[in-house]
Amino acid sequence: MTANPINLFEYEQLAPNHLSKMALDYYSSGAWDEITLRDNRAAFERVKLRPRILADVSQLSLKTTILGQTLELPLLIAPMAFQCLAHPDGELATAMAAASAGVGMVLSTMSTQSLEAVADIGQKFPHSLQWFQLYIHKDRGLTRALVERAYSAGYKALCLTVDAPVLGQRERDRRNEFVLPTGLHLANLVSMSGLNIPHAQGESGLFTYFAQQLDPSLTWRDLDWLQSLSPLPLVLKGILRGDDAERAVEYGAKAIVVSNHGGRQLDSAIASLDALPEIVAAVDGKVEVLIDGGIRRGTDILKALAIGAKAVLIGRPILWGLALAGQAGVSHLLSLLEDELRVAMSLSGVAQVRDIDPSLVTDISGNRQ
């Protein structure tokens, strides 16, 4: 590595030196005024820790289980499109780093490496956890084929993104007229349908793709159809309300990801962490709850788990690691988070992930949870 970052913020500071302006703006931008993008981070800073003292933390364990499968720490890599913009190996490098570290990976429908190639890496690790993130296309035959391919390749769950009936307005992408550079394509789609990101005059090509190809008519009733396509458990990503979480349980979801799409969809939407307590209460232990958005430190993971998440997902920092050093950068970044979580748990008086509880944190007003 050309630099030696010691935390995720330093990775972010160095990443612009390794990315084109179009790639950097695509990865880093949020919707409209980027209020939610900023608030995702601020929400974690508002919550404070209440450490226990004189607790035996000599035998620390970060292990947890998600949908019955063990992870070495309560972390998954969020689905992110176009990772080859950051490094030629893209999603393959991310998959190798994730599997080596014992964390989960959610592969995007819009990946620049094929779902089969990424799954092949996971198969080399007996306990690898890989989920496939799904967008429902207007062409339901195409959607069916994607699900069947994911199941056949060995993915452990379908992660349906539910907060994108249309794409949020990301003005930096619009100004750049975002399009994939020559040589990159939608690896999961081009072989089946020839689909790729179009060049759109005065607009983001991705915005145009969503408008042309994705199905804005999707409703709760379509979940039965989706679940009929394979035996894979369904995870719904993009829930911010307790009543929606309750409906997710009713319609058979096995897990929920509390998410505002990294501040990239509806600007001024509630920060993921602020939405978490209501959703945890609403599902009342019936399904596992995960969260993404703004997680940059081991203390952030600890706070999310204390409020009730079973695990967290991280997104943009992975791209910064890829940009700096490919697989080595992602692996180093994951090890930094693991080390920080170890220290945070030790100093908070908890030796096991299962011992993390709401008494460890205040709410945003400074009160105990």
Query: Which residues, listed in sequence order, are joined to residue 86 by a DSSP beta bridge?
Result: none
The per-residue b/e assignment along 271-300, b for 16 or more CB within 10 angstroms, e otherwise, is bbbbbbbebbebbeeebbbbbbbbbbbbbb
Query: Which residues, listed in sequence order, are joined to residue 49 by a DSSP beta bridge?
Result: 361
Is 261 assigned a catalytic role? yes
Three-state DSSP class for residue 369: coil
Do 337 and 102 contact (CB within 8 A), yes or no?
Answer: no
Instruction: Quote the strand ranges of the chain, DSSP E.
Output: 64-66, 69-71, 75-77, 104-107, 130-134, 158-161, 234-239, 255-258, 288-292, 311-314
Around Cβ 173, how many Cβ atoms within 10 Å? 22
Nearest to 272 by CA among 296, 245, 242, 239: 239
Q: How far apart are CA 161 and CA 57, in angstroms?
A: 38
Do 291 and 306 contact (CB within 8 A), yes or no?
Answer: no
Q: How far apart are CA 244 and CA 241, in angstroms?
A: 5
Nearest to 1 by CA among 14, 16, 19, 20: 14
Nearest to 256 by CA among 227, 278, 274, 280: 280
H helices of 185-265, in order, are 190-193, 205-213, 222-227, 242-250
Catalytic residue among 18, 87, 137, 261: 261
Longest dimension (CA), the chain: 63
Q: How far apart are CA 311 and CA 69, in angstroms?
A: 12
Catalytic residues, which ones?
Answer: 261
